[in-house]
Structure 1
């Protein structure tokens, strides 16, 4: 047997390149590899870039400057799953950079990213695609792009993903998206409420919190509130409040409840299931200020409905609110005061606060916090309107002095509210005298000069209520209050003009005051107002006539006649019919100040007897 001869190996083909392992420590080189046609190189380059980007914001900026973003966007749709996965992971990390977000919007990659949310894709792709969208959705333009490219539906579907990171990213993105009304209005059609409620069962607090925040936004819409109610959402929320270990979620849960209680059907449901009583007990017993504040806000929102106020009164909500007025937190005091402001629309509640509530509110008028003072004054304004008993209670609690002090506040709302309370009090003569003794006329000068029309209106109304005697009117004149009051007659606002006319009508109660008002131009302005069909009001007409009736010389000159009720005293001066008004007024006022005993040539004095 002959010896075998070893067969020589065939030489490799000349047109085939030998395998080459590339190692690089230069990121620029790796970026260039993103243009390679080879899948293995692309996958490794993406993996290296992912690790590099993960190290910090500076590295993301470096990749942006090296031009890595554009070739990476093309890899999002690569047919190789590994390449596509790695590219998606990079964008999940890179999209937190603002400059990268801007470029991604310009490159219009939303369709490619949203496509990675498809059910057939693996979980890791879902995780980083949803992370990319969550980062992008923080800006309005990106929100619009995600919504318009149909991103909301797959995100809602991913709320049921077994992976907590996917859930977290998806609900965060949805939370950002629903800040926009159009997106929010679409949620009921997509049946989003049930999967969001399921997130309450998550063991991760951040997921539960984002779910509550999302519900807090979408339950501003009636349809979403109805859907939440139909899916027993209120039961879920009450259970969160009852769980002490979930106290970090209580504030957000109360925000959702506050929205839902605006709905009458929800209110009935929570009342029937005992949830309302639990809510009130929770609010009263909690020691966390923000929880107390949000509970009071929930009551406020719900109490705008008359039937809800009735329910709350039956549950003795007033006691809870009075307790909250004593909180150390200014935010809670404000919220409780606002709740009382709304609750006192119910007559029974208004009566309750007469002995419990009004003294505490008066104390809040002295707070160092101007918002607290404003809220307390609002509550007192509503409590004392058309209620003399409560007005007396506020006065007995020494409320007049702090109310007068608030008239100099920098907050227009506080000034308007305080003026309203003082007006309500002044309806009773005893209280009016007490208010006058607190230098009220001088305190009202600032509000009369205000640029805020509500403040102007309330200040003029307070003057109308308090300038009922000669002494008060003299004080107003001496304080310089007549000029700004008359100027308000020119207001384009109907209520300001009406209240200013009312105040002028009251101030024209004696001859000297009427003469002064005429000298300052009140009669001319009122005459002009009364000639206008749209600007005149019943007070402007009465004020005009009252000025003339207390200034008979001027009336006779203006109208040519006096009525049987006009009693003429010695010194009546007939100038003849109306002529130059300014000259006439000056002459009449001069005569009013310096009574003449002798007839001058050419002048006619008519006594009561000769008339």
Structure 2
């Protein structure tokens, strides 16, 4: 376990107590005058370590006699003994990483304050390795290690910069340590080191900034430290990891309104740089660039800017890619771009509609399906192009595949029903919904055991009922009892089951039942009049006015942030709202490189 520890070979030289032999093993050029003799405590510490190592190479150096001996060396006034201790902690921490005590971290932090770069580097490497353990991260912060690391980041030694920044990166992977890091003054030097000429320093500094942006409350502090300009400059970095970290950090900053506004002011070239990155040779760079554009496109200004900068042409090959990660990222971006009323015609004109409609029916990728359906839903909700283009492109066929599948995910059913709710608001598209048998599939969605899917499906049926057209009533009459209990079974459940008392579904169900009874013709009047359960439920609830959701004309609502991971709100305000894929900060934290390789 301890084989190959280089510091032991040096300690063996002083087994006889000869200080000069010990020093010659470190520095053949050291003169006699600069070689002070070992003190008794130091001599005993060296002898103890040699004896312990020869006896059992599997010993722990983080407690007991080994730690006491290393602590003596760490606090020695003799530089080479301190270097031995720093080397020891560095090498031990390469193979033995565990939660340690204050007693073990104390000598490492003391060595970190040395004026000698080699000692600083060894201590920083040890601290960075141990900082992979959550308990150690918090202990380093509690013991004042951040202040020492911040000072070390300004060292002229590149190796010291690599190790210290790598340690900060690891500490910043712990949510409980992030605020302390921000308050320690680390963000400004991290930003400066993100521009370092050394690729390893840049990589670690960018990784640390990325880790800090995972916490919403600290993103503004990262922006205020001047990091945005440095991160944008790194979007075309030659090192893949650095480039990925920079794009992801910007994506996190763009995950909320204040961050997007800050980026709009501070980085006018951001959109162009991200679009350039979508053509990078590495898939993860392309996908993250598209996700960053998605987050930016939660803002109306960016929705316009991305399209005007040629964003649709950049996204088209990603949507057509054989790699699911790229297709999903690009489609999520299009989902947000489709919110802007002025983007419908450009998106359709760019040739994206056939691909989006094909993705609607991609049953093995529910997240991708949701993005594609929501994008088409947003486009239809706008008032631009002739809506016949959606019929001709096969939208109804794709929605039929979704709504008729027994394996469709509940979130996909919810999105499909919401899309139909938008379609039936259109004077050109409601009739094909009825004539192509989609009412039956809406009723199927009403029995999906998903309150969200039921609500959206009931809104679509309610919108059709509100048209008062005989062809609608005829179509709904055919699904009164079937499938799965039909429209009647849904109404009975929604009006009587206690789960629906406080839901948005019940008022829609009341209005649909009463409208069918009053305006649906003789067949519906007789069917409901003979149904004691429905009549009793309607009498108990009382007459309800038509919900306002059936009369908003299909207008888009303003894009709004939410945090549900890229899908519509669990219960949408209405079936016609432009649906946003909200900004999402990736959960991954970056681990710093604390070595020098």
Do the two structures share a fold, i.e. TM-score over 0.5?
yes
Residue pair 2:232, 2:267 contacting (<8 A) in 1 also: no
| TM-score for both structures, normalised by structure 2 | 0.72
Equivalent residue number for residue 472 of structure 1: 524
1:194 matched to 2:242: no
CA apart distance, 1:474 = 5.0
Does the CA-based 8 Å contact 1:30-1:49 persist in structure 2? no
Q: CA deviation at 1:500?
A: 8.8
Q: Is 1:206 matched up with 2:236?
A: no
Q: In structure 2, what is the Cα distance between the partners aligned to 1:414 and 1:198?
A: 45
Q: 1:366 pairs with 386, 404, 410, which one?
A: 404
Q: Cα–Cα, structure 1 residues 332 and 299, in superposed 2: closer, same or farther, change >3 Å?
A: same
TM-score, scaled to structure 1: 0.71
Aligned with residue 222 of structure 1, among 254, 260, 265 = 260
Distance 1:103 1:87 in 2: 16
Q: 2:121 — aligned with what? A: 85
User: 2:205 is matched with which residue: 145, 170, 180?
Assistant: 170
1:392–1:425 contact (8 Å) kept in structure 2: no
Whole-angstrom distance in 1 between the partners of 2:318 and 2:404: 25
Question: Are the counterparts in 2 of residues 117 and 125 from structure 1 also a CA contact under 8 Å?
Answer: yes
Greater alpha carbon shift after TM alignment, 296-305 vs 351-360: 351-360
Where in structure 2 are the equivalents of 1:234-253 lying within 5 Å? 234-243=271-280, 245-253=281-289
SS at match of 2:231: helix
Shift in CA distance, 483/104, structure 1 to aligned 2, threshold 3 Å: farther
Q: Per-residue CA shift, 1:181-238, capped at 9, x if unaligned?
A: 33212344333233213333334322222222111111232234315751x2223222
* Higher RCO (CA < 8 A, seq sep 6+): 2
Matched, 1:444 2:491: yes
Query: 1:303 Cα shift?
Result: 2.3
Give the direction of change, closer, same or farther, for the CA distance of 1:447–1:170 in structure 2 (3 Å limit): farther
Contact 1:304 1:342 in 2 (8 A): yes
Superposed CA offset, 1:119-176 (max 9, x none):
x341122112122222221222201101111221111111112333322222222112
Gaps of 5+ in 2: 1-31, 54-58, 482-486, 550-597
Name the residue aligned to 1:282: 317
Match of 2:456 among 399, 417, 420: 417
Tell me how large the CA RMSD over aligned residues is.
3.0
Note the alpha carbon deviations across 1:90-125, whole angstroms, 9 max, x for none. 11111001221232233232222222211x341122
Query: 83, 97, 104: which one pairs with 1:68?
Result: 104
Q: 1:442 to 1:271 in 2, by over 3 A?
A: closer
Structure 1, residues 456-482: CA drift from partner, whole Å, max 9, x if none? 233223223323346435544626234
8 Å CA contact 2:102, 2:139 repeated in 1: no
- For 2:421 and 2:396, the matched residues in 1 are separated by 11
Distance 1:479 1:286 in 2: 56
- Whether the 8 Å contact between 1:188 and 1:223 is mirrored in structure 2 is no
State how far apart, in whole Å, the 2-side matches of 1:325 and 1:486 are.
41
The residue that corresponds to 2:476 in the other structure is: 435
The structural deviation recorded for 1:338 is 0.6
Residues 326-405 of structure 1 mapped to structure 2, 5 A cutoff: 326-327=361-362, 329-349=365-385, 350-356=387-393, 357-367=395-405, 368-369=407-408, 370-385=410-425, 387-405=426-444
Distance change >3 Å, CA 229–CA 282, structure 1 → 2:
farther
Q: Indicate the residue corresponding to 1:49 in structure 2.
A: 89
- 1:295 is matched with 330
**Matched residue pairs, number?**
474
Q: The residue matched to 2:286 in structure 1 has which SS? A: helix
Is the Cα–Cα contact under 8 Å of residues 407 and 444 in structure 1 kept in the other structure?
Answer: no
In 1, the alpha carbon distance for the partners of 2:448 and 2:275 equals: 41
Q: CA deviation at 1:314?
A: 4.6
